[in-house]
Amino acid sequence: MSRNKEARQQKILRDLELRPSLRVTELAERLHVSAETIRRDLDELTQEGLIDRTYGGAVRRLATEPAVGERHGLLVPEREAIARTACPNLKGARFVMMGSGATTVHVARRIAVEMQDLTVVTHSFGVATVLSLNPTIEVIMTPGRYHAGEGAMHGAETLHFLEGLRADWVILGASGLSHQGPSDALLEAGTVYAAMLRRSARGMVVADASKFDLSFPSAWAGWQAIEMLVTDRPPVGRLAAAMAAAEVAVLTP
């Protein structure tokens, strides 16, 4: 491998540590090479098992997601835009469930600013904290076992509590979005998400485009169970086709 190619590929890997998803055009401009050169680099890194190719770019290869505290510092503009787009669709809701994750915390912060007279059930301490800034929003925390990496409650007690409730909307994040549906790296979280979805009239997934075409162990729903995806960029290819077949509304800023 030439020295220039090695340096370029190392730079790509370093960039993917800071941003979990990168586009070919973005990399070509940043590294001052052609898009075809970047595609060859990405293909080689994929063959080495270091990254995964996506339509038009690449994502870092992870067996698990980073802890929620680390995720809060990633893709902040994208997540803020998702939150602004998601919130108006909740108009008229009086009872909402919310899952854990960095993107759902952004949505919760927007709900606290824009909505009133709402009851929210959540297992996420981050979601509960930002919602509590609005005194007209009643926040109900589920019981359960605390998962420090996710900042949320999980387990049999959580699931039992949720079975007695009914919500207008559930708002959920995801580690990955594949043609088969949303999934999560944490098995316990996926179980809670599935329970919340069952107890809600309408389901919304909020996730940025770095999650496209990724699959994780806890496949907690098929697209036919989801009414809406709010994301920062429209999906394409097999993912887009699967969502269209399931009549999922896709909203972008």
* pLDDT, tens only, 169-178: 999 999 999 9
How much is the mean pLDDT over the chain? 89
Tokens at 195, concatenated: 């329970």
How many other C-beta atoms can be found within 10 angstroms of the C-beta atom of residue 163? 9
Q: What pLDDT is recorded for position 72?
A: 46
Q: Average of pLDDT values for 65-94?
A: 78
Q: How far is CA 44 from CA 27, 57, 140, in A?
A: 15, 13, 49
**Alpha-carbon span 44 to 250, nearest angstrom:** 33
Instruction: Say if residue 73's pLDDT is above 70.
Output: no
Strands 167-172 and 200-206: parallel
Long-range contacts of 138-144 (CB under 8 A, 24+ apart): 142/192
